[in-house]
Each structure stands twice: as structure tokens, then as C-alpha cells.
Structure 1
Amino acid sequence: MGIFDKLFGNKRKVNKTLIETPVDEYKKSQEGGISIGQSIYPVLKRKDDPKIHILKGNQGVIKVDFLDDLYLCFNLDMGTHFEMVQHDLLEKTSLTIEELKNTAIRNLTKKINESCKVGVEDFSENIPDAKPFYTVQFDNDLNASILLLDDFWETNAKDITKSNRIAVTIPAKNLIYFSDMRLMESFRTMKPVGTHMYNASIEDGIHLSDKTYIRKDGKWILFLDTDEQLAELW
């Protein structure tokens, strides 16, 4: 059984507000057609990303507040490239943003089930006191989007780290790292690696966040790196 089978197996409840019909009949005008219901994916975008503020006519990109400096947006997979979903899609299909989100999460879950690896980042050869931390890889355009899947962080990530305090950094759209916050040798190794990769990703325009978040009681909390907050999180 694969690592995600337990999480996304047959016992998982299905949200009935997913996009099925008639949205699957709504085709993008191109050769072969694109099924909206099967091609929408959730993506995280920086709030200062100029691409998400471009208007097409009087229509803008759909943006949902997520964490601090990040929006939840939606990409339509056109086969050869992605297009960001704008509000006109809601008008043409009578969809709500919640239905769009549910469908995007469903498609993301399916993609993860098809191909996903949890890798180990180990710097102990060069840093004797370092402990390994983890990375998730399944799609270079969507790796960071796994931050949206609460079930992963409440089950699989806890099983992997043997902890209920998960620290996460998402330096770029293709990178996400996580560790046990309480294993300080791992946590303190992951943070500067995340910062380095964030800075390295700026030139390519794929940087997301230089912040670190802690998972506590089913919520993401911005890590402030103070003794007082660390004591509260512990």
C-alpha cells in the first residue's frame, strides 16, 4: 500500500459539490477541447505577483486569501501550458468559488495518488549536528499546493515525523519542505535551506514565501522565531 492510499482510499468521504456536469461539457476552445471539471488545479501565488493582477477586459484572476502573503488561485491545465482561471468562468458555468475549490482539490488529490514521493533531505555529512527533513514531489508546477490538503498534514505527515507539530516552508512553487518542529536539529536545518532556495528562485520568478509555518490544532501558524511563541507552540 502506497503512502497516500491510507489517506485517499475508498473510505474517504466525497464532497458532492464537485464540478461534474454540465461543467464537463464546457470546453475550452482549442484542438481536442479541455474538460474544465478535470483540468482545474489549486495553486499558491504571492500576493505581489504581477501576473495575478492583470485584467482581461474587466475580468480578473480569481484570488482567495490563504496565508499572509499568499493567495489561493486556480490553474487550468491546457496540456501544453497553464492558464489562470478568471471570474468569467464562474459567470459562464454558474459555479461558486467553493465548488471550484472542491473540484481543484479533487484533481490535486488524484494527481498525488497517481505519482507522489516523499523525499529525505539529509545534510549531516556536511553539518554533523543536522537531522534530516522531508520534501514532497509529484508535479513541479503543483508541489507547494499540497499545503492545501489538511488530511495529509493531519495523518501522513504526522506518521512520517512521529510528531503533531509540523514545521513547513514553501520557498518556491516546485518546493515544499517539512520537519518535526520539536526535533530542533531538523527544524533549524530546514529553515535556512528554505531561505536559500527562496532567494535562489527569485531570478526564475517561481519564489513563493520565505516564511515558516507551524501546524497546530489543524491550523497553520506563522512562525515568529521568538522564545515566547516557541513555548506556546511546543
Structure 2
Amino acid sequence: MAKHIRFFEFLYLFVLLIVFILIALMPSLVGSGFSFFTEEMIESAMIVVLFIVGYFVMIFYQREVDKNTQFIEHLLDEKNHLQSQTEETFKYVGALNVQIKEMNSILSEIKKYPKSRQDFKYIIRFLAGKILNITPAEWALLRLINLTNSQTISEYGIRRGDKELKETVCSNNELVKPDGRDDVLIFASNQNNLNIRAFGVIPRRDITEEQKIFIKGIVNQLEMFYLIFSSLSNNNNK
């Protein structure tokens, strides 16, 4: 396309030069009888040729402008797409940093294993609050269940604003044997050779895989803290 434009530009300038030369020499050529055509006919013909060449130059220029316009629009779309991806990446990195910070706080703020029920209540409340810190859920529930009789060992539910969750959102049977409830997300601890199991529950929301892993880790931590608490309590009672 660029070669065609340069060709027509050169042709346009060449014809324009010929026209000026003919205009300058036309009186002499016509007066000497060199040309069979009149001065007006030759000038008109050259002007027509000049117009045709100029028209083609304009057409090719317009095509090139349209092509460049489309290319610029494509670049703008790519720029917006890359900008959107960059923003999403920064959001992801920011969320990941928050998760790492919260996980570090779990490891650093719980400085001693629970020796009393009061210690364990503090831990379960602390862990439930961490779930709200890392997810967009409106509430979170942590519960420990004795699998031999399906009785609740301990639980704590929290709403945003540091308010306790009073209502029952799930029965123990629904946690132990999930029946496919689609209004909540249920997370169970991994160990299968114990007579207890820890569960975490939040309302169903779109959360990332990293957030799911984080909640799963909290649930497993809760189970571990309870096992330590039970072991320390049994040793103290001996």
C-alpha cells in the first residue's frame, strides 16, 4: 500500500511538472505549428489527467488512514485489555498478601496452646474472625462435632461487625453428611481416623481457590488445637 501511494505521489508531481512545462511552452509550440491540438485542449487534457491521478492518491491515502485508524483502535483495545489484566494482577497480589498476613497472624498471635475452656473459646473466636477477614462472607461458623454421637463439642459463629451469630445455620447431620445444600459452603477437616471433626461454614459466595485453602487450613488448625486442648486437659486431670 505504501509503495502504491509513493508511486501515485511521484506520478502526480510528474504530471504537475509536465503541466507547468506545457503551460510555459504552449504558446511557442502552438505558434510554431508543432502541435495538432489547441492550447486549451492540451491544458484541459493535462488537468483531467492531473485530477485523475490526484483522485487515486486521495483514495489510497484514505485507505491507508482507515487502516491506521483500525490499527490504532486495535492497539487501544490491547492497551485496555493489558491494563485490565494488570489491575486484576495487582488485586490478586494484594489479596494474596492479605491472606499471607492473616495466616502469619494465626501463627504469631496464638502464643500458647489452650489449657482451659476459656483458652479454647478464645481460639475458636479468633479463627472465626480470620475467616471474615479473608473472605467477603457476611458470617462464618466454626463447629467441632463428636462423630460417635453427632453432638456438638464446641462452636462459634460470627457476623460482620464482630457480632455473634445466634441462629442455627446448619444441623450437625447436614455437616457430617452433606445433603447438597446450595446456600452454604461447608469445609471439613481432613483427618478420617478420629472420632471428632471440625467444620467451617460460610454463606455461598464466589471465593477464590486460595480463600478456600485458607478456610480449610483454619478448620484443620481448629481440630489440632482441640486435640492439644483435650490432651492437656487429660494430663492435668491425672
* Alignment TM-score, normalising by the size of structure 1: 0.22
TM-score, reference length from structure 2: 0.22
Structure with the greater alpha carbon radius of gyration: 2
Larger helix proportion of the pair: 2
Q: Name the structure where strand makes up a greater proportion of residues.
A: 1
